[in-house]
Amino acid sequence: MSNLAELGGPSSIVVEADIGQPGVRGNGIFLSEGDPNVPGNLEGTPIQYDLGINVDTSDVGYLFLYYYDQVEGAPPGTLAWIPKFRLIPNSLSKNEDVVFVNGQATASITAPVPPNVSIDPNSPADSIDLQYNIVNRIDLTTTVQNPISSFFFINSLSVNNGLATIEFVFNAIEFNSGIWVPVQGEKTMHLVITVV
């Protein structure tokens, strides 16, 4: 070969890009103050396949995950929030105000029963675990508590449509001024109920 040709690229390159037409946004996750199907509990406008989480601690559906989808058997385009599962399926945390009279108070609590779990009303202690703390402030200016000794029992239990209604009875005494006396008046109780 007697000739050698030198080849090179262009002196400049221009790239033009078009991001295209805007599409439908991806799935959104919404927080709801209660059942998201109730108007006013949810901020924003959901679209099909969005997720919602009930963050109302006083609601029976607390920590339920909902899916916004077509309602089965309804006309096309009928969308609703459908509960799918509970994020913590077998426990319920709740603060309950109770009134102690002569050292005794009752609290009626409704808790969801996980799927495939059955509770025998004749022996509820086999299926229900309760952890609790009685807040016993001496006055509003201090956080010091008198020591409390307490116990509880389940007075009644009923299960209906996947919800267990449990009546707990609490008996408590406190060490006050050197003696043990029955707890009196309104107290806040921190409850964690686990269905096993």
- Mind listing the pLDDT tens digit for each residue in 102-141? 999 999 988 777 766 677 767 766 778 889 999 876 656 6
Determine if the pTM surpasses 0.85.
no
Domain with CATH 2.60.40 in the chain: 91-195
Question: From CA 118, how far away is CA 115, in angstroms rounded?
Answer: 8
Angle at the Cα of 105 from the Cα atoms of 97 and 153, rounded to 5 degrees: 115
Q: Cα dihedral angle (22, 27, 29, 30), rounded to 10 degrees?
A: 60
Q: What is the CATH number of domain 91-195?
A: 2.60.40
Express each pLDDT in 34-52 by its tens digit: 999 999 999 889 999 999 9
Q: Which residues contact 23 (CB under 8 A, 6 or more apart)?
A: none
- Residue 1 predicted with pLDDT over 90: no
